Amino acid sequence: MTPWPLPPGSTIGLLGGGQLGRMLALAAARLGFDVAVLEPEPDAPAARVAAHAITAAYDDPAALSSLAARAAVVTYEFENVPAAAVERLVDLGVEVAPGARALAVAQDRLAEKTFLNAHGVATVAFAAADSAEAAAAAVAGVGAPVLMKTRREGYDGKGQRWVEHAADAPAAYRALGNVPVIVEAPADFVRELSIICARGRDGGFAVYPLAENHHGDGVLRRSLAPALASPVLLAQAERIAAQILSGLDYVGVMGIELFELRDGSLLVNEIAPRVHNTGHWTQDGCPVDQFEQHIRAIAGWPLGPTAASCGVEMINLLGDDARDWLRWAAEPDTRLHLYGKRDAKPGRKMGHVNRLRPL
């Protein structure tokens, strides 16, 4: 049995070797943990800062056994981890956090919205379909225009398309690959916000201040935090976070994307059972950032404080944006974070900067 809280010197297993994994690994190292990364790509960003790197498919049985042999707890940097891999780790006696329930809900947009509504958390109207014909009925039911999304996979605007008329639904369904979909009513929002929250093994709960997020082409470009927000709005966001985390018996950090409507109410757009791009501002805006907070939570440590110590504008460096590293490094009030990716493909997240300002 794993002893909680997990003592320093233990090894934390990590599924996924990208930038979120890299920043989790750095945070774990600061607290005296070793990290073992399982990732299919060789030379991955997180593997280069980890004590152990296992290069294999996520569902490779030998790789999972090797990870289970080293790790006292396993976490992940992305929600599309194969459920079978998590089951296998659990069968091998390793705790996976956040748990299988959170993953199942986050991996399926229908399960996610159903869970949210069942726990008193509002979302846009939606309907599911698993055939071209059913898609037309779903669009008619919700009322066009709608956003049609595959129930599984897809991120940063991929795996989704707008449907202007119910008659276009079958074609859209086929264009998305003839796989189960969900159709969502558009949200008439005034702002996109997010709340990064955490729940510990003891049920301890913590939320960071809200971030205001700006996207372009479906990809996050900038977050401003703490977002200007009334006490009523903050209380509403905290209540949503608490209901989701306790409803999932969650352990770890979660990113919750929110739509703020004209009337001041909040809808949940989606949840990410992991550290989140809109929480990168905490690295330089809070004494304990989302990465350390996640490690604390999954290790059974007490959660850290979440108040902001300064204001932050987080800007993602996509593709060639990262070529400006020297300019950013020369700005006294800017902290630069680069992910060590070899290839700056267009739109690829290469790094980010946090520009600091007094609160």
Q: CB of residue 37 vs a copy of itself: minimum separation in angstroms?
A: 12
Nearer of residues 131 and 309 to a copy of itself, judged by Cβ: 309
CB-wise, 13 or 180, nearer to a copy of itself? Answer: 13
Q: Which is nearer to a copy of itself, 3 or 93 (CB)?
A: 3
- Asked whether 49 and 29 are in contact (CB, 8 A), the reply is yes
Question: In DSSP terms, which residues pair with 181 in a beta bridge?
Answer: 129, 150
Is 29 or 90 the residue whose CB approaches a copy of itself more closely? 29
Minimum distance, C-beta of residue 51 to a copy of itself, in the bound complex (Å): 4
Amino acid symbol at 261: L
Torsion of CA 47, 50, 51, 53, to 10 degrees: -20
Q: Give the integer Cα–Cα distance in Å for 46 and 258.
A: 29
DSSP 127-187: EEESSHHHHHHHHHHH-SSEEEEESS---TTTTEEEE-SGGGHHHHHHHTTS--EEEEPPP
Task: Name the minimum Å distance from CB 129 to a copy of itself.
Answer: 44
Nearer to a copy of itself, 54 or 258 (CB): 54
State how far the Cα of 171 lies from the Cα of 162, in Å rounded to an integer.
11
CB of 8 to a copy of itself, least distance (A): 5
| Cα–Cα distance, 13 to 115 (Å, whole number) | 28
- Kindly tell me which of 192 and 284 has the beta carbon lying closer to a copy of itself: 284
Strand pairing category for 219-225 and 311-318 = antiparallel
Contact 352, 337 (CB under 8 A): yes
Q: How far apart are CA 250 and CA 343, in angstroms?
A: 35
Q: How far is the CB of 349 from a copy of itself (least distance, A)?
A: 13
Q: Report the interface residues with a copy of itself, using CB under 8 A.
A: 5, 7-9, 22, 25-26, 29-34, 48-51, 284, 287-288, 296, 301-302, 304-305, 309-310, 322, 325-326, 329-330, 332-333, 335-340, 342, 351, 356
User: In whole angstroms, how close is the CB of 224 to a copy of itself at the nearest point?
Assistant: 18
- Return contacts of 162-168, CB within 8 angstroms, 24+ apart: 163/139, 165/139, 166/136, 166/139, 166/140, 167/136, 168/139, 168/144
CB of 279: closest distance to a copy of itself in angstroms? 16
Query: Which residue, 187 or 310, is less far from a copy of itself as judged by CB?
Result: 310
If the CB atoms of residues 186 and 340 are measured against a copy of itself, the closer one turns out to be: 340
Of 314, 239, 248, 227, residue with least CA distance to 278: 314
11-15 sheet: strands from edge to edge: 52-55, 34-39, 11-15, 73-76, 95-96
| Shortest separation between residue 30's beta carbon and a copy of itself, angstroms | 6
Closest to a copy of itself by CB, 42 vs 93, is 42
Helix 290-298, helix 19-30: angle, nearest 10: 70
> At closest approach, how far in Å is the CB of 28 from a copy of itself?
9
User: Burial letters for 169-190: b for 16+ Cβ neighbours within 10 Å, e otherwise?
Assistant: bbebbeebeeebbbbbbebebe
